[in-house]
Amino acid sequence: MTHERMKVIKIVNELLSYFFMHHIVDVQIDVQYGKQHVVITIVGQIDQKPDDVDELYHLLNAERQVEYEDYYWSLLGEHRNHFELNLLGSLVDKGEVSYKDKHLTVKVYRARD
């Protein structure tokens, strides 16, 4: 498996962990793995908008740090804490977060190496 595909797996894992940590149910994940970029969408049902959704949005839109990427992605999955969301934001180019009709949707974009 390629290095790039392993990074996508870790990103999906972190997003899914966020959803499970917030007890979000009926989770659906879509990965569009194209030649130029990857788009990951995760949707789940939750009665109330999580308190940290705005923070998640800001973390996912932090500047991607390509020069540290190999180090950061190797750290993902090591600990279950806020620090990993910061790492996740450094591995994606941008993120979208929305809450509507009791559904949380998170979409992240990543240009392929």
What mean pLDDT comes out for the span 93-98? Answer: 95
Distance of CA 34 to the CA centre of its chain: 17
pLDDT digits (tens, 9 = 90+) for 31-84: 999 999 999 999 999 999 999 999 999 989 987 666 555 555 555 555 554 546
Kindly tell me if the per-residue pLDDT of 97 is higher than 50.
yes
First and final C-alpha spacing in the chain = 15
Give the mean model confidence (pLDDT) for residues 79-99.
76
pTM over 0.75: yes
Question: How far is the C-alpha of 42 from the C-alpha of 95, rounded, in Å?
Answer: 11
Mean per-residue pLDDT, 16-26: 94
Tokens of 16: 């899914």
Q: What does the pLDDT read at residue 3?
A: 80
- Report angle CA 70, 57, 82 to the nearest 5 degrees: 60
Both structure tokens of 97:
């977060």
The residues spanned by each domain of the chain are: 3-111
Residues written for the chain: 113
The CATH number for 3-111, chosen from 3.30.1490, 3.30.565, 2.40.160, 3.30.70, is 3.30.565
What lies within 8 Å, CB to CB, of 58 at 6+ separation is 89
CA atoms within 13 A on the CB side of 78: 10
